[in-house]
Amino acid sequence: MGVEAETLHGAVEALAGSLQPHVATAFFVFSACTVALAVLLAVVRLRPPWWCDCAVCEAYLTGSWAGEFDNLCDWYAHLLRSSPAQTVHLHVLRNVLTANPVTVDHVLRARFDNYPKGAPFSAILADFLGRGIFNVDGDSWLFQRKLAAAELASPALRAFAARVVSSELRCRLIPLLHSASREGNGKVLDLQDVFRRFAFDCICKISFGLDPGCLELSMPVSTLVEAFDTASNLSARRATVPMQIIWRLKRLLNVGDEKKLRDAVRLVDALAAEVIRQRRKLGGAASGSDLLSRFMGSIDDDKYLRDIVVSFMLAGRDTIASALTAFFLLLSDHPEVAAAIRDEVNRVTGDGNRPIAATFEKLKDMHYVHAALYESMRLFPPVQFDSKFAAGDDTLTDGTVVAKGTRVTYHAYAMGRMESVWGPDCAEFRPDRWLRDGRFVPESPYRYPVFQAGVRVCVGKELALMEMKAVIVAVVRSFDIEAIARSSRRPKFAPGLTAPFAGGLPVRVRRRRARVSGHNPPI
């Protein structure tokens, strides 16, 4: 009996061994069929998406729009200009796009409660931005906004930020450009990379009280900073997929872009954790004028602090770098604007050669500089579009019916190119359009939603304008910047949550002579 039992046991083990690959295969097939069924049910539930055969959806799905346009945003602008209501429905994305200021007012102000960021948008950016201010609604958003608004409005923080920007200009950016201008006909620099490093150094000092020293060009860009860019780009790419289940499935299987995103977010988490650790090491909430120290006084959840850190990095580096890069590309094509800026700086400061710190006090009197910056962002907004999701059924002011769950996008880039909004010269870079009797006069934020509008208007707007105007004045009065093989007429953008130029912005830098003494202007 013992022998028979052992024989039987061996036979069972052999049979089990032979069946194991088949069982695994059957399990895999069953899982694949389950996933396929889920995809099919999602497709059926979301009709019309995949089989919408309208011309706009077909052009989007096939990519045929790229035969005529360099950028998706330019194709959208073309569609919106061609629409009598300045509104287009892209069915395959369940996305209503608009460039109509009245509709923007409706979404951002009149029906604000019906158009939150929404769960679909939050899901797209959740891995990267978490519960940061740009990715939440309700009480979480209101708490962060109130705290940030109160701190950013404080004279102490504004003075601290001005000192940081002045120091970065005087000790790093201007010397770097001066050094580049000394090399032959001018060393070729990627100005976009320079501004991203500059803005990253500034935001880390202002927001976290830490100095990463990125503007030292001899230092390679940190792997962690590169991971931040990767996470931003891949998160933005999720929004271009017709159905969320596609990227969700890839994330579940950890393949393709989703695997790269997960790896990048892991490094971003490490960066944010190190920022928080260093801040605590330096004293945390008990010491420091930076924003993170102030947030630490109200928040003891490190994951929540991580999300706030990442949001500040995104807002303080990417948007400012994009805006400054576009500004100097336009300036390279319009030297008359650079000359007008220098004339104003000379007039306001007395001779244009005052030290940077002293010039800061005069920025508010430089109306032409302010107008030129606004005009640049009209044509090249740092964030080209922003989306909300309808919490309930609605009808837009132009008659467009919006079903619950539909994504509604106002397209600031397209709005800057609408004759119906800005007149027949809308494509021209003309700072004078913002001036009345030599003074800057703002337009309605619903015509110019570069900083959003209504309740969610950007709380860091004044700080960002100060930093950008300070850079413009300091650079333009001392250097000529010539873009190489780049034109503002045919820009090419890279994917991302902001609007970086593909391939950067290679420029040649030349030092200007002082007007009076013949010596180089002081820094």
The C-alpha atoms of residue 209 and residue 188 are separated, in whole angstroms, by 32
Tell me if residue 510 falls in helix, strand or coil. Answer: strand
Distances (CA, A) of 135 to 140, 294, 420: 10, 21, 32
Which among 186, 193, 182, 174 is positioned nearest to 505, based on CA atoms? 193
Q: Which has more confidence, 412 or 206?
A: 412
Domain boundaries, the chain: 64-511
pLDDT confidence band for 367 (50 / 70 / 90): very high
pLDDT tens digits for range 453-502:
998 899 889 999 999 999 999 999 999 999 998 899 989 998 888 889 99
- Contact predicate 343/349, CB 8 Å: no
Q: pLDDT per residue over 227-263, tens digit each? A: 888 888 888 888 888 777 888 899 999 999 999 999 9
pLDDT class of 89 with cuts at 50, 70, 90:
very high
For 214, the token pair is 């990125």
**pLDDT for 22:** 53
Between CA 321 and CA 315 the distance in angstroms is 10
Token pair of 45 as six digits: 């539930």
Q: What pLDDT is attached to residue 351?
A: 65
Residues 6+ apart with CB under 8 A from 418: 77, 80, 81, 86, 99, 426
User: Does residue 136 have a pLDDT over 70?
Assistant: yes
Instruction: State mean pLDDT over 104-115.
Output: 95
Is residue 458 annotated as involved in ligand binding? Answer: yes
Q: Is the pLDDT at 394 greater than 90, yes or no?
A: yes
Q: What's the token pair of residue 233?
A: 């780009």
Which strands make up the sheet holding 506-511, listed edge to edge? 188-190, 506-511, 479-483
Fold of domain 64-511 = Cytochrome p450 (1.10.630)
Q: What is the 3-state secondary structure (H, E, C) of 25-57?
A: HHHHHHHHHHHHHHHHHHHHHCCCHHHCCCHHH
Return the closest-CA partner of residue 477 out of 523, 427, 411, 410. 523
With bands split at pLDDT 50, 70 and 90, how would you rate the model's confidence at 208? Answer: confident
